[in-house]
Structure 1
Amino acid sequence: MSMGNSQQMPSSGSTEPENYEVKVDKEELKQKLTPLQYSCTQEKGTERAFAGEYTDLKDDGNFYCVVCDNILFKSGDKFDSGSGWPSFSDMAGQGTVKSKEDYSHGMLRTEVVCAKCGAHLGHVFNDGPKTTGLRYCINSACLNFKGEAKPGL
């Protein structure tokens, strides 16, 4: 399936069930997370477009998995895609997120999950900025933001 440019989509390369470093207890997560966070991370739900906490955030810092606190994305890679969800051109580092084929809703997409715990984060598309050609379209509900301290504050 061509999506408009020749950028290769990232892939974990496996269709087998994956073992993650962090094992999650669904009942504990229901207590820890908000209903929206649980729906997005554990049931592959999504938040409404333009409603997420981090959609318009422009502060310096890093974005972490709301389930396991794994670093996922850096603010320097965040851009305004106009999609209504936080968008990033790259992951924070090699292996911080994994991707897999998603055939839900009658279409082929590439799902993005936390590499450490397997939490659903969103999807990646190959219509991003020229630097990588990728657009990681991520639910705010799946993220925690930690800002960088400013000198003198």
Structure 2
Amino acid sequence: MPTLDSFDHKILTLLQSDGRMTVTELSNQIGLSKTPCLNRIKKLETSGYIKGYKAIIDHELVENNHIAFVQIKMNDTKTAALNSFNRAIKEISEVEQCHMIASNFDYLLKVRTENMESYRKVLGEKISSLPNVQHSSTFVVMEEIVTSAYS
């Protein structure tokens, strides 16, 4: 991967806060002309520094604002078992984030559903039946405090 310079870092910072920023706006803010700025963006994309662009959804408006964090304890933590879990968890659309954790449990999931009833269904029918899941503990979010545009 190419080494990033200060212009690249500025581009990443600005696009992180506004992925729809035009090349003209971006080039004006970082002090490069449009063509070199666009070339740098393409280089950052092809090199994998920029994985993609997405819309940030207002979950209250689309009525899926119930958030639960779920600790998962595995009954097997050998590589094959972890890989099997990692593949299967990607198939559950309600799981917004999945992190392997160095703790007394193995995974931490962020699950977003419409309400408690729909969460119970996801937990009982999908998460609990994942490969090698021994135990889960749920922590329901009472209020989401948005600290950045990346929630």
What TM-score do you get using the length of structure 1 for normalisation?
Answer: 0.23
**Larger helix percent:** 2
The answer to which structure, 1 or 2, has the higher relative contact order (CA under 8 A, 6+ apart) is 1
What TM-score do you get using the length of structure 2 for normalisation?
Answer: 0.23
The structure with the largest alpha-carbon Rg is 2
